[in-house]
Structure 1
């Protein structure tokens, strides 16, 4: 990680004094910021996720980040690991250095407008100084990522044309897309748990849509596989537009634009301890990639695979995991359904009815001296994280991935 220049003590004191105000008004500031940004630069709507904007998730995530920066401005080195996580998303989306001055200009303007007279020249100057330092850190980290991505074997910059080689229905709501480069070039490898960005032009929409999907197969294949849940397209859930388009409108042979794999939610393959993979809903996609990799490269490592779904109709890769378990004795699996069907009960095809809980985890996971990975809807991850924390699992052994803007558990 690059070393971050330090702020003057006066600027540090000024910014820290704004933290209580930002805690109260942070979301109002970021909401106004995005309004101003897109009014002045509508072309940036080609990059930003429109659904996250409409649902307020992006505004909340940015407000939390600004508040965290104010709280920890005297030790920026401590919060820079988060820079790398966000930088992965930026590189995957195509964020460039020239975007940062634009963002800084409108963020300061939003602070000034929302806070009014409370935003003194001294406060604005301190935040301008801090933003410049933080932006330079992002630009530097992202430049390294762009360079590494483009120069790796089979790598490319920005977006590349891929053909949908196959569409495979995995459950009533999840379909897998097998993507192969249109030019036939070899694919760069990736770390299990990483994702790619898919850029689509939907007929009738002014701006392109970009969505990030976890890779759901092991590296080393001649294709990338993503497994997408079809979300219902509702006014209060605008995130369904892209998934509905992929499910209903695309067909084998169609071309989509793909960015190279990114993300820091990755399986530590040097760790020899038991590993526990816990997923909810479509959150199983990175877990399947990790499981496939473990089965292929380290079949002796003890793995507990736990998946929560509504029922078997919503349960993707069920048969595949069960088949893997028959080949690898070190793998055990458990299914948790909160709305099992009559057929599920008759066939006894699941292990627990209800939700994942601490007592159930303790009854099926052989040891707490393991590395835990989990992914799924935010309420699910909060419950799992709380259970693991209560169990005494150290923070460094609890690894999780958010779909969309990073939040807090």
Structure 2
């Protein structure tokens, strides 16, 4: 891993670099898009760039990776690298692009830190970068090999269902007639949409039905910004895409999937808002495979009417041999329903069996709160898995 000399230099300079990493990443993206404007048009999420969340995620991942290297010199943060690699593979990132990133990132470091970037400092952080980049390239190469390449395919919309006032489900079939690729419950696909200004923006959406059908299903929440811009692709899909239209999809990606050891282990599947989509797919898979172990099903939403895929959520839970359902609603909870509760998700009086493996998907504050409660109940941190929609700000906000 990191050489002893570089480790000492990174440890000594981490406070300075970490303190400036936000400005560094801002300068980096400005340089990158000035040199290669097509990357912002057709690869990077313009909404996340405008809101600054992509810069935060990049800064957090670099700082977290460097910290991990100096604190655990014989290891590497495989979980973090795996999540990043799956996102990159779903976008079609290539090995050659890492050299482009290196060029503009290190130019930005020099711009921000100036004379503090001595040859020794530059060499140490260069080693950090390439350790991270080469690890990602290796994982992404394996992912591309497993899926048979890095191919975008056209899929025809064969069904559209309005789940709630702001969530629509699109059912898709390969337009070329070839078989649909296999996927694992919990994974997502990238959708490339051509927008009115000619940009081809890419977004990831979880597959919201279990594997096994030739028809794929994504459930898309229309993103309406407050301080942030409206979601370009989600609003485009809601307003313009109907049965008979075609969408360009990547192969499935994502590592929030049930493990091979989960067949007998107690499971907790917790979601909030549109985070329900991969969780419903997991529940469908558990039903299809005849899962007999205990399953805790937890969900938080504004109200029952805003709970997307609620009918599937409830139906799958009822079909499981041993399931306990806890739906939390900020308003409109039906007191006659034993599974309904009023308020935010709170596991204080929910019994969590020993050995539970937990899968979380939803807004970051929700996942942080649930993770803390689960650890307090004795669930091992290694057994708590999560998926972040959009830039992964978990690391960026770690305290």
**Shift, 1:269, TM fit:** 4.3
Match for residue 307 of structure 1 among 286, 290, 299: 299
Q: What SS class does the counterpart of residue 238 from structure 2 fall into?
A: helix
RMSD: 1.9
In 2, Cα distance between the equivalents of 1:338 and 1:20? Answer: 41
Aligned to 1:73: 69
1:335 alignment partner in structure 2: 327
Q: Choose which of 134, 137, 141 in structure 2 pairs with 1:139.
A: 137
1:261 matched to 2:252? The reply is yes
1:320 aligns with 2:320: no
Q: 2:289 aligns with which of 294, 297, 316?
A: 297
Q: Is the 8 A contact 2:293 2:321 kept in 1?
A: no
Map of 1:64 onto structure 2: 60
1:36-86 CA distances to partner (integer Å, 9 max, x unpaired)? Answer: 111111121211111221222111111112212332334263224422221
Equivalent position SS for 2:282: helix
Aligned to 2:192: 199
C-alpha distance in 2, partners of 1:167/1:84?
Answer: 32
- Picking from 243, 252, 255, the partner of 1:252 is 243
Q: Aligned pair 1:402/2:388, yes or no? A: yes
SS at match of 1:14: helix
Choose which of 196, 205, 216 in structure 2 pairs with 1:213.
205
Q: What is the DSSP-based 3-state SS (H/G/I as helix, E as strand, rest coil) of the residue aligned with 2:252?
A: coil
Contact persistence 2:290–2:320 (CA under 8 A): no
> How much does 1:347 deviate?
6.3
Which residue does the alignment assign to 1:3? Answer: none
Instruction: Tell me the distance in 2 between the aligned counterparts of 1:14 and 1:325.
Output: 53
Specify the SS of the correspondent of 1:211. strand
How far apart in 2 are the matches of 1:64 and 1:187?
36
Q: Does the CA-based 8 Å contact 1:193-1:215 persist in structure 2?
A: yes
Corresponding residue for 1:357? Answer: 346
- Name the stretch that deviates more: 344-353 or 191-200: 344-353
Alignment correspondent of 1:113: 111
Aligned partner of 2:24 in structure 1 is 29
Query: What is the CA distance between 1:7 and its match in structure 2?
Result: 4.1
TM-score (norm 1): 0.90
Superposed CA deviations along residues 242-266 of structure 1, whole A, max 9, x for unmatched, are 1111111111111111000011111
Q: Report if the CA contact (8 A) 2:283-2:317 is conserved.
A: no
Q: Contact 1:277/1:305 (CA < 8 Å) preserved in 2?
A: yes
SS in 1 for 2:178: coil
Could you say if the C-alpha distance between residues 295 and 237 of structure 1 is closer, same or farther in structure 2, counting changes exceeding 3 Å? same
Q: Is it true that 1:274 corresponds to 2:269 in the alignment?
A: no
What is the SS of the residue equivalent to 2:253? coil
Q: Give the aligned length.
A: 391
Whole-angstrom CA distance in 2 between matches of 1:239 and 1:141: 33
Distance 1:7 1:315, change over 3 A: closer
Alpha carbons of 1:261 and 1:407: their partners in 2 closer, same or farther (altered >3 Å)? same
Q: Which runs of no fewer than 5 residues in structure 1 stay unpaired?
A: 1-5, 151-155
Matched with 2:152 is: 159
Q: Contact between 1:175 and 1:247, CA under 8 Å: does it hold in 2?
A: yes
Residue aligned with 1:352, SS: strand
The alignment partner of 1:270 has SS state of helix
How far off is 1:330 after superposition? 2.0
Q: Does 1:226 align with 2:232?
A: no
Instruction: Supply the distance in 2 between the matched residues of 1:163 and 1:378 (Cα, whole angstroms).
Output: 33
Q: 2: distance between equivalents of 1:88 and 1:104?
A: 20
Question: For 1:300-356, what per-residue CA distance to the aligned partner results, in whole angstroms no more than 9, with x for missing partners?
Answer: 22222111111112012222233334444423322110122xxx5486586210011
**Unaligned ranges ≥5, structure 2:** none
